[in-house]
Amino acid sequence: GGLFSHVEQGPPDPILGIAEAYKKSTNPKKLNLGVGAYRTEEGKPLVLEAVRRAEQAVVSNPDHEYLPITGIPEFNALSARLAFGEDSSVIRENCNATVQALSGTGSLRVGAEFLARHYPVRTVLLPSPTWPSHNKIFPLAGVADVRAYRYFKPSSRGLDYEGMLEDLRKAPEGSILLLHACAHNPTGVDPSLDQWRGILEVAKEKKFLPFFDSAYQGFASGDLERDATAIRMFADEGMEMLLAQSYAKNMGLYGERVGALTVVARDAAIAERVESQLKLVIRPMFSNPPRFGAAIVVKVLQDPELYALWRKELKGMADRINGMRTLLFQELQRAGAPGKWSHIVEQIGMFSFTGLSKPQVEYLTAKWHVYMTLDGRISMAGLNQASCRYLAEGIADAIR
Ligand code: PMP
């Protein structure tokens, strides 16, 4: 009996399920490539030195008062500048309403709730595949018509650019167009500069409202500017848009839930009214955001020395990941793995979409104790010099 006896067991989270299975394995060679977090060559989580120093400064000056509903004002201003650039017209003309929210996920959710209340079109276009939470966040917020556009092309393991444009042209005018700003998750496939220009043209033609999900700025290429190219290209064209930023990956602040939502409006007066409405979304949802992580981010972005150190460390993380791409590619060739593997080095960011089939992944897990998602995605940060060779041998075996 009991009031909740009818409640059925929910399905396990696919990614957290992998972590559990990995933990249970007693094989010393086991390899966890499911994690969506940076790991050092030694397989350890990394607290950036810039973050460590900023954190000490925050701790030595304790403040546990409530923040305003929209968070730390400097945090919002600095976050918008980081994304759009110092000399962006969005920033100069105060066309942005930027609010602090709970990392990337919470920022997406606040943005979706705002759109459900104040944007007339209920259609959101998501890349296929995309980060699974996108499929849940929008309908739960009230943006119910979720449609997929072609993005990944299995035959080339690259972008299905033609298919993407074709699908976008067929979509309803004014649709919300979700775009990964860089380092597309799960595929690691980003449009080229020319392709971004083509996407922008269609977005203008179709009067789409772009919604950029920026979870990896600086973490993808190691260069904060470069990873913001698409956002800035769209902003420079005077596009109104939304932007969800996360500091989970690029500052390693995963558990602190630091992020920002920006709505870019036509002018400053509209942006001010939009901000007043974002407050009405946030107040009954979580009232006001947490201080600690955002205070750390403010210190890192404000202090020239810490900022320079952060940029260096950010590049260090990106370089290690890209180094693993090169090494895995070489080891796959050395192991004689059948097929073409250049996509491993061409893809970017935390993940690589290997192209392995579900049975091949299951074989790798059963025989080689390699834990990864069934779609063939591997977390590049989960690899090191030694495990690249082991993985390549496993992949070669799984394919043969
Ligand atoms: N968007 C994408 C594409 C992501 O990969 C992630 C992190 N996995 C997020 C958003 C948000 O993560 P968080 O809420 O931890 O910032």
Summarised one tens digit per residue, pLDDT across range 205-245 is: 999 999 999 999 999 999 999 999 999 999 999 999 999 99
Q: How far is the CA of 99 from the centre of ligand 1 (A)?
A: 17
Nearest to 99 by CA among 272, 228, 221: 272
Ligand 1 atom nearest to 213, measured from its CA: 1
Q: How far is the CA of 253 from the centre of ligand 1 (A)?
A: 12
Q: How far is the CA of 246 from the centre of ligand 1 (A)?
A: 7
Residue 357 is predicted with a pLDDT of: 95
3-state SS assignment for residue 153: strand
Do the beta carbons of residue 28 and residue 368 sit within 8 Å? no
Q: Is the CB of 293 under 6 A from ligand 1?
A: no
Residue 16 is predicted with a pLDDT of: 79
Write the residue with the smallest CA distance to atom 11 of ligand 1: 104
User: What does residue 41 show for φ and ψ, rounded to 5 degrees?
Assistant: -55, -30
Task: Extract the tokens encoding 14.
Answer: 């696919």
Count of CB atoms within 10 A of residue 254's CB?
17
- Between 292-302 and 49-59, two packed helices, what is the crossing angle to 10 degrees? 120
Residue 134 is predicted with a pLDDT of: 98
Instruction: Tell me if residue 310 is catalytic.
Output: no
Residue 298 is predicted with a pLDDT of: 98
152: which strand partners?
Answer: 159
Instruction: Tell me if residue 368 is catalytic.
Output: no
Write down the catalytic residue from 167, 249, 310, 341: 249
Instruction: Tell me if residue 196 is catalytic.
Output: no
Q: Tell whether pTM > 0.95.
A: yes
Count of CB atoms within 10 A of residue 307's CB?
16
Calpha distance 370→322 (Å, rounded): 20
Residue 18 is predicted with a pLDDT of: 87
Q: What is the residue-wise DSSP string for 288-305?
A: S--SHHHHHHHHHHHSHH
Ligand 1 atom nearest to 106, measured from its CA: 14
Residue 162 is predicted with a pLDDT of: 98
Strands (E), the chain: 31-32, 96-102, 123-128, 145-150, 152-153, 158-159, 176-180, 209-214, 241-246, 258-264, 351-353, 370-371, 377-379
Q: Which residues of the chain have pLDDT under 50?
A: none
Residue 160 is predicted with a pLDDT of: 98
Contacts of 196 (CB under 8 A, 6+ apart): 229, 230, 233
Q: Read off the pLDDT of residues 59-75 as tens digits, 9 standing for 90 and up.
A: 999 999 999 999 999 99
Q: How far is the CA of 292 from the centre of ligand 1 (A)?
A: 19
Asked whether the ipTM of the predicted complex exceeds the cut of 0.90, the reply is yes
Q: Is the CB of 320 under 6 A from ligand 1?
A: no
